[in-house]
Chains A and B, each alone.
Chain A
Amino acid sequence: MADLVTARKADTLPPARSAAGGRAARGRAARKLVPEARRNLSAYGFLIGAVLCFALFSWYPMVREIIMSFQKTQLGVTSWAGLVNYRRIFNDPTFWTAWRNTLEFTLLALLLGFAVPFFVAILLNELRHAKGYLRCLVYLPVMLPPASALLLFSYFYDPTYGLFNDILHTLHLPTSQWVLSSGTRWPTAAMISVVIAATWMNMGGATLIYLAALQNIPGELYEAAELDGAGIVKKIRHITIPQTKLVLSMLLMLQIIATMQMFVEAFILDGGQGVNNNTESVVYLIYQYAFAMSSASNFNSAAALGVVLLVVLATFSGGYVWLTRTRDR
């Protein structure tokens, strides 16, 4: 984030030009106009492809989503509809279920996907051998096509012939229905199963970013702490965590935003909804409104739901920017 700010600051510096001094100001202005126009023309020539793509596939859809959410389309005629779409989604009981599930997924995913990579990174950072091997291991699942990994997990999760129940059975532990569990009380076995698969697939990225951050901690800090007689736990609490605070908080925000958009994990593991809607996420509900309701496919309601999700996520990232800014300076 800090880099973003400096990048923008550097931008406001005037462009380097060869100074043509000693001439009358008026003549210079007239003569400068043509090269100036030509410079801009060629600059925009280089820019145009990306600008068009951004305009069509990012800026315009953004505006369109907000507009659409206040419109309705009946028999091919689009008209303003006020808050009809919003009223419809708020009155849909699955709206609240989906938000509850998404929140549950986010909390569980943070518990596993935020804390586990951090401690794995601390552990890996201590090892002097097999570093490259372990790093590759942790990151390998991130490279797999998600469908491969998730289809494999749904095979492991199968209640009758799955590997996981077999392991539990061998250990004389009660077996589970995993993703197909019907419970809706927090934390549901179904959602925990989704989170386990998601963490296995995704933890490599966070782990390696933490590892890089850990390597930037000056060694003298640990030495000083040792002289004061600090043990491992104290060193982690008072040096490791404060020293990596910036990366930790940044990844925390990125992970919250990423996990709130959970879709593909539940979609492949159990079709997206789960039993009794217990793994249905907000993005799945958007998908359902827009593409999967055979009778009443409704882009406008889906857009309204998208706006709600955007507002929630923007609040998170806005809050993050605000918090880190006041803490920094």
Chain B
Amino acid sequence: MADSYARSLISSAQLNRARGKIVYRIVLTVVIVIFTLIFIGPLYFLFTDGLKSTQEAIAAPPTLYPHALHPSSYSRAWGEFSLGRLLLNTLYYAFGALAFQLVFDVAAAYSLSRLRPALGNVVLAMMVATLMIPAMVLIVPLYITVAHLPIVNISLIGSPAAIWLPSVANGFNIFLLKRFFDSIPAELTEAATIDGASPLRVLRSIIIPISRPILAVVSIFSLVAVWKDFLWPLLVEGGFNPPRETLNVGIWTASQTAPENMVLAASAIAAVPTIIFFLIFQRNILAGLTAGGVRG
């Protein structure tokens, strides 16, 4: 399947006939136009409606483009909702969670895959089993635990650790990483061990460089997950001044009181980093989707 085009429902022979070509051209054009309208259309309004004045934004019928440009709603939204602050918060949470996940989950998967401690299988099974527990179901006991950590008796509410540490408990990371580490030939690591390399050295110099693709997948999805999460950051970081929320929660809070044009401007600003991120990493993201072993 490498070089020859994998054929699909309709054969190339059928498409190469004169009628087939015309039909294909029409279908292609219609699909491109409709898909652009459906998926880019709303984004067009997201970005242009923020440029309208407050009156124009709630005028009936709605205008298709801003009749008078008001870029000030963007700058006002940026200032009044402290979007810069929210953006920094979100980056801080997302990259912090990424760092914790990479350190702890990679170390754990390495240990389970290569060092194989006693009862490692039980630990692995219990970690992977958490994939079966829907996240929303645990939101209440998780909140109570984070608000009052057992044994050490401290509360993580309002601290970034409330987002960072629970993100480490991700069965999918462990599953993906361990499966990838298992596929690395044992000879590579054994040779290093015989030469006297410590387990940490083996992890750093052999396993991690080989595992770049899977680390990229895990990293991207962990960043996106923190960026998109809503209820959890609302519960643990909401209601502080200066705000400690994520952008996602912050623009919702702002929408409760602010006029429409400013809400839309804020939503547009919040969308920009994710769109840029997607355009840069789209290849990895689209490929990573099928990395979870969902194959036909």
Interface readout for A156-185 with B: 1 if CB under 8 Å, 0 if not? 101011110010010000000000000000
Count the B residues whose beta carbon is within 8 Å of the partner chain — how many?
115
Q: Does A134 contact B (CB under 8 A)?
A: yes
Task: Please give the distance in Å from B202's CB to the nearest CB on chain A.
Answer: 11
Q: Does B17 contact A (CB under 8 A)?
A: no
CA distance A12 to B125 in the complex (A): 12
Interface readout for A199-218 with B: 1 if CB under 8 Å, 0 if not? 01000010011001111110
Known: A53-B166, A155-B264. A58 touches B136 (CB 8 A): no
Known: A49-B107, A161-B62, A313-B137. A156 touches B120 (CB 8 A): no
Collect the chain A residues with CB atoms within 8 Å of residue B178's CB. 7
Collect the chain B residues with CB atoms within 8 Å of residue A274's CB. none
Q: Does B42 contact A (CB under 8 A)?
A: yes
Collect the chain A residues with CB atoms within 8 Å of residue B277's CB. 143
Count the A residues whose beta carbon is within 8 Å of the partner chain — how many?
116
Q: Does A11 contact B (CB under 8 A)?
A: yes
Q: Does A59 contact B (CB under 8 A)?
A: yes
Known: A143-B224, A151-B264, A215-B6. A137 touches B39 (CB 8 A): yes
Interface readout for A120-155 with B: 1 if CB under 8 Å, 0 if not? 001111111110011111111101111111011101
Residue from A10, A68, A146, A250 within 8 A of B230 (CB atoms)? A146
Interface readout for A52-87 with B: 1 if CB under 8 Å, 0 if not? 011011111110110010000000000000000000
Binds A, one of B67-75, B210-218, B288-296: B288-296
Contact B175 A7 (CB under 8 A): yes
CA distance A312 to B134 in the complex (A): 11
Q: Does A198 contact B (CB under 8 A)?
A: no
Contact B199 A11 (CB under 8 A): no
Residue from B24, B108, B149, B290 within 8 A of A49 (CB atoms)? B108
Taking A134-B31, A152-B42 as given, write out 4 further A-B residue pairs in contact, using a Cβ cutoff of 8 Å, ordered by the A residue number. A7-B179, A143-B278, A149-B42, A152-B46
- Which 3 residue pairs across A and B have the least CB separation, nearest first? A50-B108, A43-B117, A43-B115
Can you offer 22 A-B residue contacts whose CB atoms are under 8 A?
A15-B116, A43-B199, A53-B166, A54-B168, A58-B166, A60-B141, A64-B145, A125-B9, A130-B32, A136-B278, A139-B285, A152-B46, A161-B59, A163-B45, A212-B294, A212-B296, A214-B8, A216-B296, A217-B8, A251-B294, A260-B134, A286-B140
